[in-house]
Amino acid sequence: MHQEDYMRAAIALARDGMNSGRGGPFGCVIVRKGKIVARGQNRVTSANDPTAHAEVSAIREACASLQTFQLDDCELYTSCEPCPMCLAAIYWARIPRVYYGNTRADAAAIGFDDDFIYRQIPLPPEQRAVKMKSLLRKAAQATFLEWAGKTDKVRY
């Protein structure tokens, strides 16, 4: 298979998920060594889970299938430029290469305003639409100090 074939597979998943009523028009495949190892569709509305985006679902499936939390030897093909949540998940999974079809502007044009979140991220917490306030920082830092001194931790 070629890159275009993987993207066509992601687009087909997007169409299938949308037409079956599972969620929005988003699909994703993860490829490792020329083989699709995971597939994801948007299932936000059918699963009542706002994190059930195609990319997150595919990352979860790939990690479970490959028994690893790092996908640093994989590529991700998605029918749309990843939203901020999915982009963060891609970074956490250490996926080094992403191919996408639609842009976030295309998504905004049909009512998916990921760009709003992109614009919120660089703002200081007190200026974001979601009200945020630091609370019990000193108590919370105790756990971080324990983690820093832990000798048997698995780094990620």
Residue type, 35: K
Which of 55, 61, 75, 146 is labelled catalytic?
Answer: 55
Tell me the C-alpha distance between 31 and 74, whole Å: 5
Tell me the C-alpha distance between 62 and 64, whole Å: 5
> How many CA atoms lie within 13 Å of 46's alpha carbon, on the beta-carbon side?
14
Pairing of strands 27-32, 97-102: unpaired
Active site residue 146: no
User: Around Cβ 28, how many Cβ atoms within 10 Å?
Assistant: 32
Catalytic residues: 55
